[in-house]
Amino acid sequence: MYSIEIDEKVWTHLQQHAEPFVDTPNSVLHKLLFGDNFEENDDGSVFKIPSVSVKGSPKSLAQIFEVVYEMEVNGYSRTEATNRVAKKRGTAPQTITDKYCRQLNKKAHEIDELLSEPGYGQFRGLLKSKFTDQQEVIDTYFDSLAMGIVS
């Protein structure tokens, strides 16, 4: 890590783009300069949070996939995964929660039960009934996740 001096104008600009209690000056600069989605480790080093993007798929489905990814691959709870996806996307956690609760007509504890099922069978079925035009994408995503291809 390096130390730099910045003037008041630059500091104010960084503050305007920072998420309070989350971002550091380095993380704000990284986002502004490179447009990357990442988080910092305790030592200040950076790690990326992958995005899910399938052409023609709704953003809400991609966000749901990202939450599942964070849970399955990175071992986070649903709440932690939701917070990570929200931070990566620069939105409120409630916005992400709406994607899998309100839109799927389930309460958070019901989503937790569905996501605790090995293989996510019922959750996958729920997604397929909501996103009827995306059934192949949903199957491919969950099959890849189960085989360890999505990482």
pLDDT in tens, the chain (151 residues): 677 888 889 888 888 877 665 667 877 777 777 776 555 555 554 445 555 555 667 888 989 999 998 898 888 999 999 999 998 888 899 999 998 998 899 999 999 999 998 889 999 999 999 999 999 989 888 888 777 654 4
Residue 134 parent element (H or E): none
Asked whether 86 and 100 are in contact (CB, 8 A), the reply is no
Residue 44, classified by CB atoms within 10 Å of its CB into exposed (0-12), middle (13-18) or buried (19+), is exposed
Residue 54's region, left for phi above 0, alpha for psi from -120 to 50, else beta, is beta
At 48 the pLDDT is 52
The residues facing 40 across adjacent strands are 46
The residues facing 46 across adjacent strands are 40
Could you tell me the two tokens for 125?
């079925």
d(CA 89, CA 86): 5
pTM above 0.75, yes or no: no
The torsion of the CA quartet 61, 79, 101, 118, rounded to 10 degrees, works out to 70
Asked whether 83 and 93 are in contact (CB, 8 A), the reply is yes
Could you tell me the two tokens for 85?
């996806």
